[in-house]
Structures are given as structure tokens and as C-alpha cells.
Amino acid sequence: MYDVPDQSGKLVVVTGANSGTGKEAAKRLAAAGARVVLAVRTPAKGAAARAEILAEQPDAQLEVRRIDLADLASVQEFAEKLAADEQHLDLLVNNAGVMTPPARMTTKDGFELQFGSNYLGPFALTVRLLPLILAAPAPRIATMSSGAAYLGRIGFDNLQWERRYRPTSAYAQSKLADLMLSNHLAKLSVDRDWGLVSVAAHPGYTRTNLQTAGAALGRERPSLLNRLMMRYNPLPKQDVEIGTEPLLYAAADPAAKSGEYYGPAGRFGLVGPTTLVRNPKSATDPELNARLWQVSEGLTGVSLPSILRK
């Protein structure tokens, strides 16, 4: 089991912290001494996760705050309230996501659900929180991508999947975009001397509710085919305690390097201990990353404050 380095005195925000890798990351960062904000869409679920963590870690410092990454107004409200209450934010963990809804759905702002929730919402949150993050002594952002990013491409002519929606391809695009965001932040930090460490990770094939929740969106439950595939899938799988460790390494380990990508070292890159993994070629293209950033600013209406553009 990965031993999270001491996080005493640090303020951490973890999105999607009510279940899966988000809850596990929040629990272990809090156990290492961090004060952790559980950033969740449903406060009741966040409160339940908080109670569960406190049952194991009675001294954990945990706070629940609401954010809906599929609603840019909610993202703005979260960021503004946090900035009003805190002097700095040491670590942002972009973890929340949705996976492969069977039919095309949209966010409150009209974006395709996966691109909006998995990428544009976290993009807007990250940019809005950057001044607060950069005020920290050792600012850091950890972003959860996916092995699906290797199969992704950024279709600038069809970002919202208004034509030929394919659930898996849309998911892969959104997770590639997350990786490109992380890498572009790392480059901006070097170019502008921010001192920010931006690191990405993926969990391999980890048992969480992500697959079942996504497959059931728009339905009462996943289809019979989805349920059979999830039950009898022969691929190697791992529990959430191990699957969260690449994200924890990206978030907290002094050896994790800005602009790098970490994931499981075992079979097919799906299970096992954390290792440095290869970035998809498209995620290392500075011009492509910058183009996606520019497009994202236009779509969200969120851009770097002038003081950070220098």
C-alpha cells in the first residue's frame, strides 16, 4: 500500500469525493494530515462519505462543498466561495467524471455530457482557482485521466458529438483533453515561472461505480449487455485502494514530475503498483494543447486573469 507523504497544514480540494477513487484519495490525504474539501454534486452523498471516512479516521479534517461540474455557474460559485474563505489552496485534485452514457446527453450549458463534465468543467474550475492555488507555498494540481486517452482524438470539428455520437470515443476524447490540460498547465508554469506542479494519472481498470453509473444514465439501470460485460469481463481488475494510488502519487509524492503521467505498472497497464507511463503523442504536442486551451476559453468564457498572462 502506497504511504502518502505528510500533508499536514495543506488545504486540498478533491472533486467527486463521495465515491470511488475520489473518496479513497480524500481519505488518505486526510489521514496524512491534509484539510480536505469534498467537492461533490450531491451534498447528502458528500456528508455520507465524510461520516464514513471519519469512522475510520476520527481526526480527519473534512468539509463538504457542493459543485456540479456540468454547470459552469456552479463551478463559478464554488471557486468564488472558496477564494472568499481561504488564503490559498495547496492542491486541487481533478477527479470527478462520468463514463459512457449510452445516448448523447448534455450539460446545463449545452455541452456533450462527457466533454462538459470530464473536461470543460474541470478546465473552468482549474482556471478560476489558479490564483488561489498559486498563492500556496508549493502549488500543485493532479488530474485524473484514463487509459482510454490512448484511444482518443480531439475532434475540433465535432467536439460536442452532435454528429455520430459514440459513447466510448466521446469518453476517450474527454480523458485525452484532461491529459492535455495537465500538460499545458505544466508548460505554462515553466514559461511563466509559476512554480506549479501539474501531474496526471490514470487508475487502470479499477472497480468503482463509474462504469455502472455511466451505463445507466438516461435509464433505470444498465442494459443487459452492459451488465453481462461488466460481470464477465476477463480483463484484470483491481480494488479502489490500489487503483487510486497513481492519483495519490501525482497529488502528493515529491518524486512526481510536472508534466508527467502515472498509472499502473502491471498487466496491460490495468493493474499493479504505480509507475511512470507514456503520454499519448497528441498530449505532448504543445501547439495542439494550446489550441485546445484557447477553444476551451471560448466555450466556457473562463480565461486566465491578466496578472497570470504575463
119 is catalytic: no
First to last CA, the chain: 42
Q: How far apart are CA 84 and CA 263, in angstroms?
A: 35
Q: Which long-range contacts (CB under 8 A, 24 or more apart) does 288-292 make?
A: 288/154, 288/180, 289/180, 289/181, 289/183, 289/184, 289/187, 290/184, 291/156, 292/154, 292/177, 292/180, 292/181, 292/184
**CA dist list (Å): 282 to 173, 202, 290:** 11, 17, 12
**β-pair partners for 93:** 14, 142
List 2, 150, 165, 171, catalytic entry: 171
Active site amino acids: 171
